[in-house]
Amino acid sequence: MRQITGTRALDNGDNPVIMSWPQKIGELFPDTRAYCRDYTHDSIAWCGLTVGYCMAVNGIKPVFGGDADSRFLWALAWKQFGTDAGGAPQPGDVLVFEWASGGHHVTLYEETNGNSYVCLGGNQDHQVKRSNFPRSRCIAIRRPPAAAIAPTTDMVHSPAQMQSRVIATVFGGASDPKTSAYDGHMIDDTELGVALPAHISDPRPNVSVSKDGKTVICKVVHIGPWNTDDAYWKTGARPQAESGVDSQGHRTNGAGIDLTPAAAKAIGLIDKGEVDWEFVGAPLTLPFIPFPFHRDSTSPDLVQQLLAQLEAAKMPTNPTTPPAGGQPDIATLVAEALKVFQTLGPGGQQQLPTGGTAATPDHLQQFIKVLSALTGDFGGPKGLGQVNGALGDTVGHLLDGKKSAIGIIGSVLTAVLHVVGPSLPAAVTTAIGGPLAPAILPIFLGLTAWGVLGKFEKWMPPTTPPKQ
Per-residue pLDDT of 406-424, as tens digits, reads: 555 555 555 554 444 444 4
Exposure string for 348-381, b = 16+ CB within 10 A, e = fewer: bebeebeeeeebeeebbebbeebbebbbbeeeee
Exposure string for 90-121, b = 16+ CB within 10 A, e = fewer: eeebbbbbbeeeeebbbbbbbeeeeebbbbbb
Which span out of 148-152, 206-210, 382-386, 433-437 was modeled with the highest average pLDDT? 206-210
Of residues 161 and 380, more confidently modeled: 161
Contacts of 310 (CB under 8 A, 6+ apart): 329, 330, 331, 334
CA distance 59 to 53: 10
Q: Under CATH, which number does the domain 16-143 receive?
A: 3.90.1720
Is residue 293 within 8 A of residue 448, CB to CB? The reply is no
DSSP letter at 11 equals S
pLDDT digits (tens, 9 = 90+) for 305-315: 444 444 444 44
Cis amide linkage into residue 225, ω under 30° from 0: yes
**pLDDT category of residue 389 using cuts at 50, 70 and 90:** low
pTM of the entire predicted model: 0.44
**Greatest CA separation for the chain:** 91
Is residue 23 within 8 A of residue 36, CB to CB? The reply is yes
Domain boundaries, the chain: 16-143, 163-280, 315-459
Q: Under CATH, which number does the domain 163-280 receive?
A: 2.40.40.10
